Structure formats: structure tokens, C-alpha cells
Amino acid sequence: MRTWPLSSLAVLGLLSLSPVVYADGCALSIDANDAMQYSVKHLEVPASCTDVTLTLHHIGKLPVKAMGHNWVLTRKADAAAVASAGAAAGAAKEYLPSGDARVIAATKLIGGGESASVTFSTAALKASEDYSYFCSFPGHASMMKGTLTLAK
């Protein structure tokens, strides 16, 4: 039987609690729930990816009209303005401003038990830029947000 030094076990334990999700084959997955939370606060995309597919899973039970969630990616500097414009766009437009160039990628709005995916190019992403993702359902962006980085 092999024994591991305590320091090795501690490192393994810390890695398993890491809030960062790395793309595996340029595919990311994130959960959202009825408590207005994403499962991770940071996503990292390898620089080798030319396209990324993100899949959002709504693991809650509430319907889209009551607790709808989406995943919207913008530059960090644009996040608050896009969230505000999304709220103004209304439910008919799934709380996203139509044709807004500040939106890099977005899934459709989904309810409990549903999933949605979006594939986007990394060509416009820069390793030196800060990107934010959030849910644009009114009132959710203040709690449901995180960061995405392109690895160097």
C-alpha cells in the first residue's frame, strides 16, 4: 500500500475545491440553480481553442418565467450596461438587447431542468482583457456572475 505525504494530500484537496473550470477540448459546462447561483465563478479557455462551446444546465425546478437563466459573455467594462439594456429589452427578447455588439456570446433563456449551449469564436478574445459572464434575467446579474479568461 502506498502512502502519500500529508502535503501531497493537502494539495490534492485544494485542487478539488478549485473554483476555476478549465475547458476540456474547448467545451465548458456550468450549472445554474433556483437560488440564483452559477456553479463556478471563473472559467478559463486554453489559448489553443479557436471555438468554445459553453453548455448551461438549469438544475433547478422553477419555470423560465419565474426563474429563467442564461449565460451572457461581455467585456468586463460592458457587463453592467448590457445587463441593464437586457432588462429594458424585456421577456419577449429574453432579456438581451437585440444586435448588441457588446455581447460576445449568449445562451437562450432556460427554465428548470433545461439546458442550452452556445458556440463562439475566441478570435476576438485577448489574454490581456477581462471578460464577465452573467445572467441577464432582471435582478440576477448582481449574484449570477463570474469571469472568463483566455489562457496565455
At 152 the pLDDT is: 78
Mean pLDDT per 10-residue run, the chain (152 residues)?
40 40 74 98 94 98 97 98 97 96 98 98 93 98 97 84
Residues 112, 57: Cα–Cα separation, whole Å: 8
At 25 the pLDDT is: 61
Residues 139, 134: Cα–Cα separation, whole Å: 11
CATH code for the part of the protein at 19-150: 2.60.40.420
For the chain, the first-to-last Cα distance in angstroms comes to 40
Domain coordinates of the chain in residue numbers?
Answer: 19-150
What 3-state DSSP class applies to 133?
strand
Residue 10 corresponds to which cell in the numbers above? 493537502
How does 64-103 read in b/e, with b if 16+ C-beta sit within 10 Å? beebbbbbbbbbeebbeebbebbbebeeeebbbbeebeeb
Residue 134 corresponds to which cell in the numbers above? 452573467
Question: Any residues with CB less than 8 A from the CB of 20 and at least 6 apart, and which?
Answer: 40, 42, 43, 44
At 23 the pLDDT is: 45
